Amino acid sequence: MDSTLIATLMFPALFVLIFLGLPVAFSLITVAFAAGLMAFGDLLPRQMFARLIDASSSYTLAAVPLFILMGAVLERSGIAERLFKAMQLWLGRMPGGLAVATIAMAGIFAAATGIVGAVEAVIGLMAIPPMLRYAYDKGLISGTICAGGSLGTMIPPSIVVIIYGAIGQISIGQLFAGVLIPGGLMITFFLGYIVLRCWLRPADGPPAALDEVDVTLGAKLRITAVSILPATALVVAVLGSILAGIASPTEAAAVGALGAIVLAVLYRELNYAKLRAILSKTIRINAMILLIVVGGSMFTSVFYFHGGNELVAGTVHALAPTEFWLIVLLLVITFFLGFVLDWVSVVLICLPIFDGLIRAAGVDPLWFGVMMIIVIQTSYLTPPMAPAIFYLRSIAPPEITYRDMFRGVLPFVACQALVLALVAILPWTATYLPSLMR
């Protein structure tokens, strides 16, 4: 069979297997094996094993399990619950105060974990009951939880950013710096929308009762010192060491994991049962991510061998888009793939193909990378296939319906689109902080 035809059929075959219910990692490996067999014959197992060794011995990817361990410790040790209660004390009396506290806590917890689904699950279990008790609008509840959970994609040390940097051969430290301003803008827009909506329509998000947050200033400062400052200091130490060039992401991840364990011990929240659950979750998530990395590496290698890169480049050349329309085309492809694939697969499949195109067009790969990460986050939140909604459904009570969820996330999707537009119009929002690192 002609190599170009094989490359052309690889993507349709991949989506057929995914829609039939085969896990993404095994779908990637199956298609890669079938297409590779026609090219390498008996040598294929050796070639596949080489890809496995490359992925498992990557120094950059070694940061992934360490950040996952850090997040699992913070999730299971009660630190997130302490954060939320402290945020309630400071922000509960604002319009939509519980939702504001939820987004604020999600931003800190996202910076401490880097795991998308974990952030949403943790903040959802803590924030939904009190917001329902205060009769918050169910759409606002849904949108707040989903939007807060999506911050795990943007806020460093996001696992998405680490995988992107490793595959795209971009400094992970500079990519972390590149997403800081857009991530801060996104949190600001989320908070602004909640406060404005609840100020105009107080019934959608009434403030917390005075007796629940009426404590002395000294008590608030004491709770802040115990609940907020340690986790914030850990985040600042991890990200600050990377951005200052003191430590590599892998070294900083190791320090972060150790720091999270020390905090759990000091809070007296770590015992044998929790430690076993933490290690089990770390191994499970890490195995899932790295298996997809291996499958994506195999898939793209075989796709390249069959001339897939030349096929894509030839198609784009035939379309002859300007730099602007090339960026739009690639981001639209990313957005729609995000409906059916998890973020790891989107990066692994798209980036090796996109990278050569954007560099040939003279597009700054760091600027494009930040925009692509925003688009991946937006597809995570956008109905009807939003993974964020399915995460929420697994933890939400029955009275919060899919209609509430779909209605609730749309204003937050608009906030994400606004951030994307600002980064596109003002590239310095993505490149200024990395330029200081250089």
Residue 31 has pLDDT above 90, yes or no: no
Confidence grade of residue 115 (pLDDT, cut at 50, 70, 90):
low
371 belongs to a structural domain: yes
Query: Quick one: which of 115, 67, 65 has its CA closest to 255?
Result: 67
Report the domain count for the chain: 1
CA distance 403 to 431: 39
Residue 340 has pLDDT above 90, yes or no: no
User: If you average pLDDT over residues 314-330, what whole number do you get?
Assistant: 82
User: If you average pLDDT over residues 73-78, what whole number do you get?
Assistant: 75
Residue 427 has pLDDT above 80, yes or no: yes
- What's the pLDDT score for residue 212? 66
Higher pLDDT, 56 or 25: 25
Which segment, 45-59, 93-107, 334-348, 363-377, is predicted with the most confidence on average? 363-377
3 belongs to a structural domain: no
Instruction: Provide the residue range defining the domain that includes 324.
Output: 59-437
231 belongs to a structural domain: yes
198 belongs to a structural domain: yes
165 belongs to a structural domain: yes
359 belongs to a structural domain: yes
- What's the pLDDT score for residue 438? 58
Task: Give the ranges where 155-271 is alpha helix by DSSP (H).
Answer: 159-168, 172-200, 210-213, 217-227, 229-243, 249-266
- What's the pLDDT score for residue 413? 93
- The CA–CA distances, whole Å, from 51 to 85, 232, 303, 345 equal 46, 38, 14, 16
- What's the pLDDT score for residue 419? 96
Residue 195 has pLDDT above 80, yes or no: yes
- What's the pLDDT score for residue 68? 81
CA distance 177 to 436: 9
46 belongs to a structural domain: no
User: If you average pLDDT over residues 270-293, what whole number do you get?
Assistant: 82
Higher pLDDT, 322 or 313: 322
Which segment, 46-55, 68-77, 314-323, 397-406, is predicted with the most confidence on average? 397-406
Residue 56 has pLDDT above 80, yes or no: no
Q: Which of 100-114, 125-139, 410-424 has the lowest mean pLDDT?
A: 100-114
Reported as a single tens digit per residue, the pLDDT across 367-417 is 999 999 999 989 888 876 677 887 788 778 888 888 888 899 999 999 999
pTM here? 0.84
CA distance 401 to 231: 34
- The CA–CA distances, whole Å, from 160 to 17, 115, 157, 374 equal 24, 8, 9, 11
User: If you average pLDDT over residues 47-70, what whole number do you get?
Assistant: 76
Are the C-beta atoms of 6 and 14 separated by less than 8 Å? Answer: no
- What's the pLDDT score for residue 117? 65
Which segment, 26-40, 102-116, 339-353, is predicted with the most confidence on average? 26-40
142 belongs to a structural domain: yes
Residue 203 has pLDDT above 80, yes or no: yes
- What's the pLDDT score for residue 303? 81
Higher pLDDT, 345 or 399: 399
User: If you average pLDDT over residues 50-74, what whole number do you get?
Assistant: 77
- What's the pLDDT score for residue 113? 66
Residue 26 has pLDDT above 80, yes or no: yes
- What's the pLDDT score for residue 1? 60
